[in-house]
Structure 1
Amino acid sequence: MSLKQRINDDMKAAMRAKEADRLGTIRMLLAAMKQKEVDERVELDDTMVVAIVDKLIKQRKDAAQQYEAAARADLADKEKAEITVLEAYLPQRLSADEIAAAIQAIVTELGASGPGDMGKVMGAAKQRLAGQADMGQVSAAVKAALAG
């Protein structure tokens, strides 16, 4: 079953179970997916859906940080609950050691050295690790690999 179909099935299950918060989050995800399909006139595959989920999680994390800075714990908690629902649609994430090893392999393969090659390494890393790792962690690993 495709990830897109699983999300649709989860929406129906949330409707039946009357889980309003979960249903709202899934509907927001489906709306983002539909928007991407309409804007780009494409049929989304699992990789594209994972990229959308990643983007939405990043937005929720940023919003939660801003709400916490403004002492609005109620809104921050809502954002964190949405993150929990969205994370169910991501594949298993790589550990920090696995990310570092993958980045080291990319650096060696590209012959990159020094901070000037960061863009080249990040481009390759985004292609290979999309959906498998948080890009913030990947960026930190690339900086560490190119600095040493």
Structure 2
Amino acid sequence: MSLKDRLGEDIKSAMKAKDKIRLETVRSLKKALLEKEVAIRPSGQDSLTEEQEIELLAQQAKQRRDSIEQYRQAGRNDLADKEAQELAIIETYLPKQLSDEELSAILDEIVASVGATSPKDIGKVMGVAMKQLKGKAEGKKIQEIVKGKLGG
């Protein structure tokens, strides 16, 4: 089942269940998906690839994480909680997130494969890591672990 179909089904079930937050969140995802599809049409592509869908979902999740952080700093826990609920819903569409141990092991392989040895090589490692781990781990966490490994 494509992501668009899955979102359509989830909109229907959220409407039946009168689950307002799920309905709003899934609708916003579908809207973002449709906008992205319209944006890529000029390049001759009708629908998004799985990789593009994951990228879109990861962007949506990142927006929610950033909002949560800003709302908490502003003392608006009510809004932060709503964003956290939306984030949890979005994460159900993303690939399973890697544990810190799995992430660390994969990053060890990437560090070895690019021959990184010092903090100067963080950029090289991050480029490969972000491509390989898109949607499977948060960029901030990847960067933290890479800096730890290379003494950044």
TM-score scaled to structure 1, two decimals? 0.91
Matching residue within 53, 58, 72 for 1:54: 58
Shift of 1:84: 1.3
Whole-angstrom distance in 2 between the partners of 1:112 and 1:120: 8
Matching residue within 70, 77, 81 for 1:73: 77
Whole-angstrom distance in 1 between the partners of 2:32 and 2:148: 34
Partner of 1:120: 124
Displacement over 3 Å in runs of 4+: none
Contact between 1:106 and 1:121, CA under 8 Å: does it hold in 2? Answer: yes
Count of residue pairs the alignment pairs up = 148
Whole-angstrom distance in 2 between the partners of 1:69 and 1:93: 26
Matching residue within 85, 90, 93 for 2:94: 90
Q: Which has the higher contact order (CA 8 A, sep 6+)?
A: 1
Partner of 2:11: 11
TM-score scaled to structure 2, two decimals? 0.89
Q: What RMSD, in angstroms, separates the aligned Cα atoms of the two structures?
A: 1.5
Whole-angstrom distance in 2 between the partners of 1:4 and 1:140: 33
- Structure 1: any 5+ residue segments left out of the alignment? none
Whole-angstrom distance in 2 between the partners of 1:103 and 1:4: 32
Over the matched positions of the two proteins, sequence identity in percent amounts to 43
Q: Which amino acid aligns with 1:46?
A: E
Shift of 1:30: 0.9
